[in-house]
Amino acid sequence: MSLPPLLQIQDLQVRFRLGRGDTARWTEAVGRGGQGVSFDVPAHCTVALVGESGSGKSVTAMSLLNLLPDNAERRGCVRFEGRDLLQAPPAALRALRGKDIACVFQDPMSSLNPVMTVGAQIVEVLRLHLGLSARAARGRAVELLAEVGLPEPQRRVEAHPHELSGGQQQRVMIAMAIACEPKLLIADEPTTALDVTIQRQILELLARLKAERQMSMLFISHDLGVVGEIADQVVVMRHGTVREQGPVGPIFRAPQDPYTQALLACRPPLIDPPARLMVIDEHIAAEAARARGEAAAAARAHRAKDPAAPVVLEVQDLHKGFWLPQGVFGRKLFEAVKGVSFTLRRGHTLGIVGESGSGKTTTGLALLRLHEASGGPVRGSARFHGQELLSLSKADWLPMRRRIQIVFQNPYASLNPRFTIGETLMEPMRIHRLHGDEAGREARARALLARVGLDDSAWGRYPHEFSGGQRQRIAIARCLTLEPELLVLDEAVSALDVSVQAQVLNLLKDLQDELGLAYLFISHDLAVVRFMADEVLVMKDGAVVEQAPVEQLMAAPREDYTRRLLGAVPRGLAAQAA
């Protein structure tokens, strides 16, 4: 006789009230058009919720314990061990949260209390739900940190969140979540912002804890490679409704819904990537096969790179250090970048990969002189069209900055929230006095908006009114207003779901073909680097450990570190589809 499901979701619908009084209106987030969401989470099983941003994955998961804003309204039935959570009083939900049902969120830094030590935060959970004494709770907190693989748990228990790396913060969140031995763990994009080796460690940790503690897990992700490795069953969502669900193997091998097929095809493969990535609408359209052939052929015609193209950037023996306090009045030098050298030609892309802390981003920021000089010394040479960047005066650097632009990982943090999109695009041209008068600048800005796939309705709107993918397109358009020759792309697509990521990557390739842009592409995602780069530079502890053309490096890496990076890439998608 089979056990009943631990969690049963039946006809769940969630909507949000926008505005107040007579002007208020409702928007449906889950269960649109009266088509509620229904699925089960069996005991000792991992169920993955997958879909694009805005598909309703996180809203579905957060509605289970009513971790939604006050303007949310839930309907349907959510039974946990037979109890309907939608009808449960607040006190009953508080008793469940953290004890029987626990959550691990995407960004641990925004979930952990910055003014409390990590040990104190775990102790708080243990004392609240299990009634342990302060001494017993602290001892258990140390045990939990050791269980999740945090080094030196006796010392780390007194650390504050900002003193830990992203992977270590996520381990603390997991330790806190499993402290009371929950029956259900909700993991909401727990590995999205982590590099491949830390991601691998977190996935293996979650799988081990699930097996040892006999937990069930609701795993939310847009990375189908990760889902294929960790999940037993998968639920595919789009626009707040379930499009397909079932065991992960059959769904990945033979998806029945066109949307699932499109999601599986959006992810760039490590081996033999296409010249152009398909996006959701192209796959769902009836002419997908013809569109694929035409797009790939056109892209192949444009992708031919000139090996003798002019050198845009030549870096020799670049070093970047930071002064760290030592003792009361002393200081010591930490070298974040050690002797990096490379050459980048017009129309080419150099990928820089490595784990967190390897020096990837510091290399890009040092070239752009975005680190304060007082923070630590910079040595070496960086020549842009033969002109030395590192010794330019401030007066000479301003016109140079127009020719070298950067796209950051988080476009919402890099766009001014008080500027409309029109103002955002006009400001750089005013500063550098480009494109004539205001009418000429506006024409240029509107043309660039159209070029990155946004219409005129975006002109008067603000950044918060756009999705993550749209904001990244705006950030790219802002760079292009200055007609740069080199773009530094610092994890520019790592926070985007697979379909939006495919659109942005295709856009970047198209712009490179049309404008001859050179890209310095910094990423921890090796599949994306395989799709974008012509040459790859692998960094570890601030130094270059391997450098080779992308096909050569992916096929036959020379260094053990590079092989470990490639071995850590989630391959569940290929394995399940085989």
pTM: 0.81
User: What phi and psi values does residue 463 have, to the nearest 5 degrees?
Assistant: -55, -35
Instruction: Name the more confident of 409 and 293.
Output: 409
- The rounded mean pLDDT for the chain is 88
Secondary structure, 3-state, 328-397: CCEEEEEEEEEEEEEEEECCCEEEEECCCCCCHHHHHHHHCCCCCHHHCCEEEEEEECCEECCCCCHHHH
User: What phi and psi values does residue 340 have, to the nearest 5 degrees?
Assistant: -80, 135
Would you say domain 7-266 falls under CATH 3.40.50.300?
yes
Strand partners, 46: 217
Strand partners, 486: 404, 518
Q: Do domains 7-266 and 311-577 have the same CATH topology?
A: yes
CB 226 within 8 A of CB 217: no
User: What phi and psi values does residue 315 have, to the nearest 5 degrees?
Assistant: -115, 130
d(CA 551, CA 555): 6
Q: Which of 1.10.760.10, 2.30.33.40, 3.40.50.300, 3.40.50.720 is the CATH number of 311-577? A: 3.40.50.300
When pLDDT is averaged across residues 409-423 and rounded to a whole number, the result is 88
- Of 8, 57, 11, nearest to 34 by C-alpha is 11
pLDDT bracket for residue 138 (50, 70, 90): very high
In this prediction, residue 319 carries a pLDDT of 95
pLDDT bracket for residue 293 (50, 70, 90): low
d(CA 147, CA 429): 54
In this predicted structure, the answer to whether residue 575 has a pLDDT above a threshold of 70 is no
Burial of 330 (0-12, 13-18, 19+ CB in 10 A): exposed
Beta sheet of 543-549, edge-to-edge order:
404-407, 486-490, 518-522, 349-353, 535-540, 543-549
- Domain definitions of the chain by residue range: 7-266, 311-577
Buried b (16+ CB within 10 A) or exposed e, 530-540: bbbbbbbbbbb
Cβ neighbours of residue 292 closer than 8 Å, sequence gap 6 or more: 278, 282
In this prediction, residue 300 carries a pLDDT of 45
Q: Residue 210: in which H helix or E strand, if any?
A: helix 196-213
Q: Residue 543: in which H helix or E strand, if any?
A: strand 543-549
pLDDT for 185-228, tens place per residue?
A: 999 888 876 778 888 888 888 999 999 989 999 999 877 888 98
In this prediction, residue 571 carries a pLDDT of 67
Q: Which amino acid is at 530?
A: R
d(CA 383, CA 59): 49
CB 199 within 8 A of CB 568: yes
Strand partners, 330: 326
What does the DSSP 8-state code read for residue 285? S
- Of 168, 167, 170, nearest to 153 by C-alpha is 168
In this predicted structure, the answer to whether residue 297 has a pLDDT above a threshold of 50 is no
Cβ neighbours of residue 532 closer than 8 Å, sequence gap 6 or more: 349, 351, 505, 508, 509, 519, 521
pLDDT bracket for residue 289 (50, 70, 90): low
Other CB atoms within a 10 A radius of the CB of residue 345 amount to 21
d(CA 390, CA 383): 8
